[in-house]
Structure 1
Amino acid sequence: MSESRYWNLLLHNVDGRSEIDDANFFFAQDGKTNAKSELHATIDALLNETKFDDNSSACKFPARKAWISEQLSISEFAHVECTEYKNILNRLNPKSATLVFPSAHINSPASMFGHTFLRINSAYNSKLLSYAVNYAANANPDKENAAIFAIKGLFGGYYGKYSLLPYYDKLKEYRDSEQRDIWEYDLNLKEDEVINMVRHIWELNGTHSNYYFFTENCSYNMLWFLEVARPTLHLKEYFNYQVTPLETVHACKAEGIIEDNFYRPSKRTTLLKYEELLNEEYVKTPLELVNTNINQQDIIDNTDIDIQQKRYILEAAIELLEYRRSKNKITKEKYLTLFHDISKARSTLGQGENLYIQTPPNPIDSHRAIRTSIGFGYREGESISFLGLRPSYHSLQDSNYGFLRGTQIEFMNFELSYSDKQIEVEDATILSIVSLAQRSDFFENLSWRTKFGWDKNSLDETANFIGTVGVGFSWGNEFAFIYAMTDPLFYLDGEFKSAIGASLGAVIDGESYMSTNMEITRRWYDTGDEQLLIGVYQSFRLSQNTQLMFSYDYKERLNFDLKRQEGTIKFNINYYF
């Protein structure tokens, strides 16, 4: 019995060791590393109860009790009163389950991978009355030093805890406050499988484990619940060295358990739609209403404003109010007063046109995280071959189909070149993050980017270590966006050097099957030298996981005080898996 897959799933065992780090989860002293000892101790605890209320062994571990009872044909354990467990079971009324994927948060490095959690659906028609099962680190990245937050997250410096919350609370957090679009993937789990999952969720109530950003994270721990619900699933086997939220969605698709999906636009997406619908002369009017520069009655009484535009103005003002309240940018008292007054004014205008927001490409159809590339080209008249590997995750040059526009996060991106019997490192990026958040009348976001690693963009021809953090602005529409950035940087070529860079870029991505990226950069070095860099990339999405890319890179070089120009034409095929 102790070697059975289900028992080891209940213990969260991997290679004979449990990933649960809370001693209260085990009956045996060596239960974390000895499944047989933990099984015997669990059976002994169930047969020899000393407490008969919510603190009894049976009440704390209903999934273990149900499985042991079935395996050993034990029909009568000691009678215990599990009031809390029965209450939560009645409240949940579990019928089905949904995997929920809040997409990336564009201005939060800790959330640019997205997130996943489970929703336990009841018999109620409204999914808002369901409950969400979440696993998260007990950390607040907004109140901690970013470097310390990253280091502790990478090396298990936080506890991860499970929580069970009303689904509408999670929607307010992710969709409204953090401006994330929500994707819901209904799973084909049967009712008895969902009940088994809920039993195990209860067993983890109040326990903790060490949280690791790339492995034992929010998404990974949801996979345990799904495998407990249906032990024939092997979702965790899809992952070795890293687990990203979107990849767990891909794994569920590969295992055939996703049967339907539903899209919920974020507050940001909704407000941007109102910006699109409002006439240019009225697009700032909702802001003036929220800032109390004008009164809602001024809108109602203005005969020059079309009635549908009046509806849009007031509706957008209500959405802005809710957004500002979710960010604590307005007091509760002021929010309630304005919300009441503007909503009352809106009710006098009757029913208007329904707000239609087109469903964007589904993340489940996006490219996978690992990218391999092979290419050939010419540099200064010489033929050259390229070979690349990137374990994770997405770049601006990749197809953004199913991804958040203007974002990039890459780890360990390596590219080698071969020419004239010589192999060189073209790129060895440790980390690169880009957030090009387009500004609008309602959102005045900063854009930023950072990179650490080796590349060949310096004045000489070798790969030098570079570090940079840049800020700027981005503007765009549905067809394209542009950006302007300033990037202080340092690099090492035997000695420490610094520079300041200024970049202008454009991305044309209005078509789902292709995109064009262009950037021109001027750098001023502390040595007094200057450098011009130009990059042009044209990519075509051939299939979900295949991309064709043409690129041209121009770099000014400096050798022995002689400046020269270097151009590289490259043809690449990228494959994602």
Structure 2
Amino acid sequence: MRSINLALILVLAGAPLWAQATPGELATHPRWKALLHINEGTTWRYQGRSYIDDPEFFLHESGATDAHAELEASIEQLRPEGSEARCDFPARYRFLDRQLDWPDDGGLSHCSDYQEWRRDMPGERVALIFPASYLNSPSSMFGHTLLRIDRGNDEDGVWLSRAINFGATVQGQENSILYVYRGLFGGYPGYFSNVPYMNKIRDYAHLENRDMWEYQLNLTQGERDWLLAHLWELEDIEFDYLFLDENCSFRLLELIHLARPESTLMDDFRFAEVPANTVRSLDRAGFIESVEYRPSKANELDALVDRLSAGEQDLALALARDASVAEKEAFQALAPRSQNLVARAAYAYLRLQNREGARSQEVAQRGLALLRVVNRTPTVSGVDPERPVSPEKGHGTKMLAAGGGMLGDRGFGELQARFSYHDWLDNPEGYLNGAAIEAFDARIRRTEGDDLTLEQLDVVNIKSLAPRNRFRKPVSWFVNGGLDRRLIGSKRHLTRHIQGGPGLAWEMGSVIPYAYAMARAENNSAHDVLVSTAAGARAGVLWYADGFQLGLEAEGLYYHNDDRRYRPSATLNVPVGRNHALRARVERDGGPDRAETEFHLSWRYYFD
């Protein structure tokens, strides 16, 4: 009996050795596949292999395509005590050490560069930062995401935080069209960068006037350690950068997924990844602990200006130019609270006007004088910008619609599909008012007596409305390229076109009037020339009311062959919940000799 018990004890004592995973099992472990950045069907490209081509990232020549071979090479090179490979791949070593129960031989203690880097890196908190969309940069039209690694758990720790960013490396200055083209087809290498977070604050909130959203993640200390160890492994490792899917947001999701590979973060297929979808994915997978909103300096100035009368705005502008205005009768006659608001508006305006480059001594002296005025007046609270709906609460970024209507005296049915992202009259919650970004928006139609036809295909349609006031005078603009059907003479022709132009916009409460100058180049079967050119104007008004959005617009074009076309329209959009809307549109299209009126009603469904 004793011999049986002894044998049983020996068996149980040896159980951990027998329970160790084999290399074949470890090669399919979720964390190992995450460490190698293997695409398990998340995007269309490189399925079943690593997203990384850089040979510096692998220890086996076939490591990018063979996870088992890379595992065996890693075991061989990371197992020896004092191995230099451990210093290059601390996260891999940690994984294999735990899974294979390697002996305690000092681990990474000989990796002085890594140990010094790890001591210098904060690691108490991790937040996803979402600078909102910035239409003046093609790379930031949909917003941007980066990680912030915090030191400490209080607000002051942000000053010592690091920003982890993934972006394309562009050599020299390239125009926006070339940037988008190369970004779509993987023409740029992408790298992770690790910089002081305050540098990014300056770039986004100060220089580009972008609101910022901070999503605190609930990663444990152990999960944060995995993330940081792998971040070291990715230093100077080259990825392909693709604008639609393998972009800044997607790479950060991969990094977060490594910290918690059992999550559902990377389960869904992604034809495209935009920052709003990234935040929604993190929210659904249970990563988000809290949300903070940080308005841009431009929005902070606007919030102050909205509290001032026309006369007080004049004083604020004068005070920003000459701080001695604070000693004059007009300023002294104001109530102390009004003096505070005027002085703060003047200071905010001065800072905004001089946000780029080094400030001159004269500007610095004016700023200091304005701060003295602010400090000697009673502070008025409650003038911060109103917090908007956060981006992840907005409608889905893709859209399908079904509808019908009347074109003249003929009925039609229509289907529409839009790959991305948002138009002026979609539900504005979670989006920037006056910003429209549409890509690959197609409509097909069957009209009574006609075959099925393509009515419209917008490859890209970007419209920026930047309202002006006495303190800020930005220029609005739009660009649109694709196909649309227009009435030319007596027939509706499919035109291939590109059009755009600058404009001006203003804001009056919830109403935004605007006007654009525009130029258009098109190819159609009605004109003898290959390319017809036109110039004209477009003007309208948007009304963002509670419960609906209304757009009124009129467009006129004069062509080089004396052809003239007009297109007035009215569109009403009524959101029905977050991801549904009812839309009605009436439009008259044509010229001085003939025009047709179209009425269109559709149901719209938004999804990711």
TM-score (norm 2): 0.88
Give the whole-Å Cα distance in 1 for the aligned partners of 2:154 and 2:392. 25
Give the whole-Å Cα distance in 2 for the aligned partners of 1:228 and 1:456. 49
Trace 1:46-65 onto structure 2 (pairs within 5 A): 46-48=78-80, 56-65=84-93
Question: What's the secondary structure of 2:306's corresponding residue?
Answer: helix
Find the counterpart in structure 2 of residue 105 from structure 1.
Answer: 134
Give the whole-Å Cα distance in 1 for the aligned partners of 2:573 and 2:171. 38
Give the whole-Å Cα distance in 2 for the aligned partners of 1:569 and 1:301. 56
Deviations 1:485-510 (A, max 9, x none): 11110111133211112111100003
**8 Å contact kept, 1:136–1:160:** yes
Deviation of the 1:566 alpha carbon: 0.6
Deviation of the 1:248 alpha carbon: 1.0
Q: For 1:306, which of 331, 335, 343 is the aligned residue?
A: 335
Find the counterpart in structure 1 of residue 425 from structure 2.
Answer: 397
Deviations 1:528-555 (A, max 9, x none): 1212101111001111110110110111
For 2:478, give the aligned amino acid: R
**8 Å contact kept, 2:337–2:378:** no
Q: Does 1:138 align with 2:172?
A: no
For 1:23, give the aligned amino acid: P
Q: For 1:523, which of 537, 542, 557 is the aligned residue?
A: 557
Find the counterpart in structure 1 of residue 21 from structure 2.
Answer: none
Find the counterpart in structure 1 of residue 457 from structure 2.
Answer: 428
Q: What is the RMSD of the two structures over their aligned residues, measured on CA atoms?
A: 2.2
For 1:305, give the aligned amino acid: L
Runs (5+) with no aligned partner, structure 2: 1-25, 40-46
Q: For 2:62, which of 12, 23, 30 is the aligned residue?
A: 30
Find the counterpart in structure 2 of residue 71 from structure 1.
Answer: 99
Deviation of the 1:341 alpha carbon: 2.4
In structure 2, relative to structure 1, the CA distance for the partners of 1:140 and 1:182 (3 Å cut) is farther
Deviations 1:456-515 (A, max 9, x none): 13524022111112111111133110111111101111332111121111000032x310
Find the counterpart in structure 1 of residue 416 from structure 2.
Answer: 388
Deviation of the 1:50 alpha carbon: 6.7
Q: Does 1:502 align with 2:502?
A: no
For 1:370, give the aligned amino acid: K
Deviations 1:1-40 (A, max 9, x none): 1222211110111233222233222222222222222222
Deviation of the 1:149 alpha carbon: 2.0
Give the whole-Å Cα distance in 2 for the aligned partners of 1:239 and 1:534. 41
Give the whole-Å Cα distance in 1 for the aligned partners of 2:171 and 2:304. 32
For 1:6, give the aligned amino acid: R
Find the counterpart in structure 1 of residue 220 from structure 2.
Answer: 190
Find the counterpart in structure 1 of residue 71 from structure 2.
Answer: 39
Q: Does 1:572 align with 2:602?
A: yes
Name the stretch that deviates more: 64-73 or 109-118.
109-118
**8 Å contact kept, 1:175–1:265:** yes
In structure 2, relative to structure 1, the CA distance for the partners of 1:108 and 1:287 (3 Å cut) is farther
Give the whole-Å Cα distance in 2 for the aligned partners of 1:183 and 1:12. 27
Find the counterpart in structure 2 of residue 538 from structure 1.
Answer: 572
Deviation of the 1:246 alpha carbon: 1.0
Trace 1:174-573 onto structure 2 (pairs within 5 A): 174-290=204-320, 292-293=321-322, 295=324, 297-298=326-327, 302-328=331-357, 331-420=359-448, 422-459=451-488, 460-494=491-525, 495-511=530-546, 513-556=547-590, 563-573=593-603
How many pairs are equivalent? 565
Give the whole-Å Cα distance in 1 for the aligned partners of 2:209 and 2:587. 35
Find the counterpart in structure 2 of residue 172 from structure 1.
Answer: 202
Name the stretch that deviates more: 132-141 or 527-536.
132-141
Question: What's the secondary structure of 2:576's corresponding residue?
Answer: strand
State which structure, 1 or 2, has the greater radius of gyration over its C-alpha atoms. 2
Question: What's the secondary structure of 1:18's corresponding residue?
Answer: coil
Runs (5+) with no aligned partner, structure 1: none
Question: What's the secondary structure of 1:457's corresponding residue?
Answer: strand
For 2:555, give the aligned amino acid: T
Name the stretch that deviates more: 73-82 or 30-39.
73-82
Give the whole-Å Cα distance in 2 for the aligned partners of 1:314 and 1:157. 49
Deviation of the 1:241 alpha carbon: 2.2
Give the whole-Å Cα distance in 2 for the aligned partners of 1:410 and 1:311. 43
In structure 2, relative to structure 1, the CA distance for the partners of 1:49 and 1:138 (3 Å cut) is farther
Find the counterpart in structure 2 of residue 3 from structure 1.
Answer: 28
**8 Å contact kept, 1:16–1:34:** no
Name the stretch that deviates more: 108-117 or 121-130.
121-130
Give the whole-Å Cα distance in 1 for the aligned partners of 2:330 and 2:192. 52
Q: Does 1:161 align with 2:191?
A: yes
TM-score (norm 1): 0.92
Deviation of the 1:343 alpha carbon: 1.7
| Identity score, percent | 27
Q: For 1:96, which of 108, 117, 125 is the aligned residue?
A: 125
Question: What's the secondary structure of 1:210's corresponding residue?
Answer: strand
In structure 2, relative to structure 1, the CA distance for the partners of 1:211 and 1:296 (3 Å cut) is farther
**8 Å contact kept, 1:100–1:183:** yes
Find the counterpart in structure 1 of residue 3 from structure 2.
Answer: none
Give the whole-Å Cα distance in 2 for the aligned partners of 1:20 and 1:314. 54
**8 Å contact kept, 1:49–1:57:** no
Give the whole-Å Cα distance in 1 for the aligned partners of 2:467 and 2:201. 23
Deviations 1:124-144 (A, max 9, x none): 311523332211122389x42
Question: What's the secondary structure of 1:150's corresponding residue?
Answer: helix
In structure 2, relative to structure 1, the CA distance for the partners of 1:411 and 1:61 (3 Å cut) is same
Give the whole-Å Cα distance in 2 for the aligned partners of 1:259 and 1:521. 48
Deviation of the 1:300 alpha carbon: 9.1
**8 Å contact kept, 1:12–1:20:** yes
**8 Å contact kept, 1:458–1:464:** no
Give the whole-Å Cα distance in 2 for the aligned partners of 1:163 and 1:325. 28
Give the whole-Å Cα distance in 2 for the aligned partners of 1:369 and 1:499. 33
**8 Å contact kept, 2:257–2:265:** yes
Deviations 1:246-302 (A, max 9, x none): 111122222232232111111111011111012211214444444x34536436993
Give the whole-Å Cα distance in 2 for the aligned partners of 1:186 and 1:299. 48
Find the counterpart in structure 1 of residue 150 from structure 2.
Answer: 121
For 1:310, give the aligned amino acid: Q
